[in-house]
Amino acid sequence: MLFLLSSSSTSPLLSLCRKIPLKTLTTKTLSHLHSTMSINLKTHAFAGNPLRSTTPKPESLFSPSSAFETLKSRLLENALLPSSPIFKVLPFRKGRPLATSTRPTGDSPPIWHLGWFNLGDFKGFLANSEFQLTENSLVYLGSRSEDDVVYWGIDVSEDSSLVPQFGAKHFCFVELRTLMVATDWTDEQAMSDLAIAGHARALLEWHNISRFCGHCGEKTVPMEAGRRKQCSNALCKKRIYPRVDPVVIMLVIDRENDRALLSRQSRFVPRMWSCLAGFIEVSILVGFRIVSSLLEILVK
Ligand SMILES: [Zn+2]
């Protein structure tokens, strides 16, 4: 069986919140990891987002369009606002989600949590910054109607004044892979949070690299609570949807010698290894389909 050796004698994530360069902290964090964690994942670490991002009823309070209208009202600070649903915001900075950690009693390793804030609390942070919060700043991540919550992501990379504010509350921006290594992979709640953070990062990154229309070159604007973008040129109005890049990851096993083939890149943090993985060329996908079709014909 394959094992990852990880974990720590000191608080990994709390140490990340100290005033030490993140790269150093990441290295330090991982070098302190010393518990043993079996790899027994049913899905990819960042897959399995439990939030629902679609709803068949647009009039539902939790649908993207309805939640977006409520969001705009709340940003205008109207006095008479419905208390439901609750809005939670997860800030990101340079692709890193905000996180914090708590240490259970005894010698148990610390547990990290994503830095979710209620919309009102988040606006309090922004009051002491130069960040201009608009309805277009937030992207809809999904909802949990059973919890009466709609979740939003926001990229605050352009405002560094928020970092010390969050730091004072023991929050810091942490690389997703660091969170992945610090997560107990048998903890379903933690794995769900990891999947939400992965989804949010991908969506925010797509917004960041899709600022201009590939057809006419005009600026794009977010639509449908950030679930898609559209060209601002009235003569173009091209619709742009988040990219889905086909990727593959595999574990090569030497059964006779009970070994597995792993690899690492120079940018990896110490002791981090990976299965073989990469993007799939479209031509290869087409090739797979052709081969599959031929095999089906031959079998028949
Ligand atoms: Zn255009």
CA 26, 27, 28, 33 torsion-angle sign: positive
110-119 CB burial, b ≥16 within 10 A, e <16 = bbbbbbbbeb
| 3-class SS of residue 110 | coil
Task: Tell how far the Cα of 227 is from the centroid of ligand 1, in angstroms.
Answer: 18
Average pLDDT over residues 197-203: 91
Neighbours of ion ligand 1 (CB under 5 A): 213, 215-216, 218, 231, 233, 236, 238
Residues with Cβ within 8 Å of residue 245, at least 6 apart in sequence: 279
Average pLDDT over residues 3-26: 37
Beta bridge partners of 12: none
Task: Tell how far the Cα of 216 is from the centroid of ligand 1, in angstroms.
Answer: 4
Of 50-59, 203-212, 235-244, 276-285, the one with minimum mean pLDDT is: 50-59
Residue 39 has pLDDT above 60, yes or no: no
Burial of 129 (0-12, 13-18, 19+ CB in 10 A): middle
Residue 287 has pLDDT above 90, yes or no: no
Q: How many Å apart are CA 113 and CA 34, to the nearest integer?
A: 20
Residue 1 has pLDDT above 50, yes or no: no
ipTM exceeds 0.95, yes or no: yes
Q: How many Å apart are CA 28 and CA 15, to the nearest integer?
A: 9
Residue 53 confidence (pLDDT): 61
What tokens were used for 294? 């031929």
Decide: 33 and 8 in contact? Cβ < 8 Å: yes
Task: Tell how far the Cα of 137 is from the centroid of ligand 1, in angstroms.
Answer: 21
Confidence of residue 27 (pLDDT cuts 50, 70, 90): very low
% pLDDT > 70, the chain: 72
Confidence of residue 180 (pLDDT cuts 50, 70, 90): confident
What tokens were used for 138? 């937030």
Average pLDDT over residues 38-46: 56
Any alpha helices (H) in 32-184, and if so which ranges?
A: 64-75, 119-127, 162-168, 176-182
Higher pLDDT, 271 or 17: 271
Q: How many Å apart are CA 1 and CA 22, to the nearest integer?
A: 33
Task: Tell how far the Cα of 231 is from the centroid of ligand 1, in angstroms.
Answer: 5
Task: Tell how far the Cα of 219 is from the centroid of ligand 1, in angstroms.
Answer: 8
- End-to-end distance of the chain based on CA atoms, in angstroms? 39
What tokens were used for 20? 């030490």
Confidence of residue 9 (pLDDT cuts 50, 70, 90): very low
Confidence of residue 259 (pLDDT cuts 50, 70, 90): very high
Question: Pairing mode, if any, of strands 228-231 and 239-240?
Answer: antiparallel
Name the nearest CA neighbour of 71 among 141, 152, 161, 191.
152
Average pLDDT over residues 202-224: 93
State the residue for tokens 């742009």: 240
